[in-house]
Chains A and B, each alone.
Chain A
């Protein structure tokens, strides 16, 4: 099916290089899983804490494969009409008004009532045809000729019913529209689902997907990410701030800082022309990577030992 992309997905190693060119540093676990998901033609369910690059993975894959990224953001109450398709009610209405005058000529007054109804029946399907169909992300992804990357973001926020409804699409890559029939994918899309684990997903859904858990990165990987994403930062400062963030993650905080926050912090430090971490500097910029008042208090308390520890760790 996706033979044109096979070369790009020839091995986990080529994927790693490709992703790196797109500015996404992937661990071996990520590339191997992406490799399998692509070759098995299975959706990939990505879980992990917020901000570790779940969505980024899908975006990168789209950019790497040069395919359009179709994104479906899930939320409570999301239903088929928002996710799959909707009839263009306005257009239907407008057309019926415009065609009102034609009605006389179609029905042809000479004939009896029964015959008129028969004639009308022949035009039944016009208003429920593809012309009046508004495709939403899922249908759009199936209709892309060259294939697409479909990202179903934060699936855990949607209701159980929606999850059940996704099953048909995920296993067969087709959907049933009662008025038209079954629509199958022209080219199977590459599907990513992400979840923040706010609730347990159903077994049925998990069974149909490959599963990838992205944890907080190892120090080495995180340093690498910072180097690529924030090019101007000095090697020393990069090491120090990664060590600091890693130490903060060990603390009891409500929301541990994730990669995206590390990157933000690195950018801020770059703008401030910081050369190395100092307690004062950290105190002034704590709110960049900690988003709760309590968390800031917890870290501020241990500011000196943490900073000293990070500087020491980076020195080794």
Chain B
């Protein structure tokens, strides 16, 4: 019965429950303790050993009901009762014999055995259903059954004819059941397979082309990515807190113990969190990317990054306070609509925006600041001065320019990207979630 359990664990894994080898062993031992006799107890035992969180328990409950439903071949007796089992040439084949005898357990066992041989647990797409059904039927010995039916029909005697008809009926019944079994296995496997596909598709899809319907999914993916970054970085922060022996402090503290050094004091290294100034172009061409970048940045723990955000189109304004007041999603939406904000949504004017920044906010950039500019550098053929950008670059620690266009378009038409590049520490193409994640990771990962 251990095989049954490992099959069950495979379908749990397909459904998205993470199960390690040691947990599998636990489950095996648990089952050995409680046995397979009582369905409810078995369920409780596995519930304790395998899923380890409330959502996983829900998935488990669903899988358990699906997997341990033994209602196959339920009306087998109606099709071919034991009394109709005659002797004859047909009984050479075990499948024919089992079908005729109506032994339900044997049929289920044979089906599971064949399914295992055909690696049914690997099934992923509904198009594979008929293939697996065929393989399982072959494994159970369908060709043999067909042969015996033919032999009986050829025989010609009335008894054999009747038996052939019964077998024919049983055959349809068998095929139905196997098909149902395969379909059920598919439902056990598919949700996550599809989900994984979708996730990887969304990660690499161009942000500007995404449909509205995927925004919800994107949020979830972003949340997941951000959580990982947060976890990763908070651990690092804690580790770097441990420092060297602070001798002065130790001496001072231990004067009370007559100079015996019992209570050691350690130097605490102050962590520099990245100080971030984000300057975003919010003209329509770039808005969507901006939206996701902001979702990403403000998802990060406040202890990890400190952000000031500016947006510009024809002029430049600061919007940090909006993020302080509202939750991220609401804030991003407010910015997208541009309501109540003193921003002019005319032609994008990089020059004017940089001048605004210099006039009002240049003091926000210091030697510790990383400046992140997101824009396509399309200045509508207006003159582009690089002087202010140079000033910002020199004042800041790093200046990173993210451009949603692919590099081959930089400098074409009204794009001034080529002019700006010399004054950036790093220039990156940024138009998928994957890119965004890379950028944000490099922001918080840098050791100071």
Residues of chain A at the chain B interface (Cβ within 8 Å): 12, 28-29, 32-33, 35-37, 39-40, 42, 44-45, 47, 89, 92-93, 96, 159-161, 197, 200, 203, 206-213
Contacts and interface: CB of A to CB of B under 8 A. Distances in A.
Interface in B369-398: none
Q: Which 9 A-B pairs have the closest CB atoms?
A: A32-B44, A33-B48, A206-B52, A211-B52, A210-B48, A36-B30, A89-B262, A29-B44, A207-B20
Interface of B: 18, 20, 22-23, 26, 29-30, 33-34, 40-41, 44-45, 47-49, 51-54, 57, 234-235, 238, 257, 260, 262-263
B260 A96 contact: yes
Tell me whether chain B's interface is mostly helix, strand or loop, or mixed. Answer: helix
B257 A93 contact: yes
A191 B325 CA distance: 45
A29 B47 contact: yes
B33 A36 contact: yes
Contacts of A28: 40-41, 44
Contact of A93 (B30, B40, B48, B262): B262
A89 B263 contact: yes
B327 to A, nearest CB: 18
8 contacts: A12-B41, A28-B40, A28-B44, A29-B44, A33-B47, A93-B257, A207-B23, A212-B48
A40 B30 CA distance: 8
Contacts of B54: 47, 197, 213
A32 B31 CA distance: 11
Contacts of A42: 26
A39 B33 contact: yes
A197 B57 CA distance: 15
B44 A161 contact: no
A211 B57 CA distance: 10
Given A12-B41, A89-B262, A160-B238, A36 B20 contact: no
A279 to B, nearest CB: 35
Tell me whether chain A's interface is mostly helix, strand or loop, or mixed. Answer: helix
A29 B45 CA distance: 8
A36 B42 CA distance: 11
Given A42-B26, A208-B22, 12 more contacts: A28-B40, A28-B44, A29-B44, A35-B33, A40-B29, A44-B48, A159-B238, A197-B54, A207-B52, A209-B52, A210-B26, A211-B51
A40 B26 CA distance: 8
Contacts of B45: 32-33, 36
Contacts of A44: 48
B407 to A, nearest CB: 39
Contacts of B235: 160
Contacts of B22: 207-208
Contacts of B34: 32, 35-36
Contacts of A207: 20, 22-23, 52
Contacts of B26: 40, 42, 210
Contact of B238 (A161, A203, A211): A161
A211 B54 CA distance: 10
B36 to A, nearest CB: 14
B238 A92 contact: no
Given A42-B26, A93-B262, A213 B57 contact: yes
Nearest to B49: A210
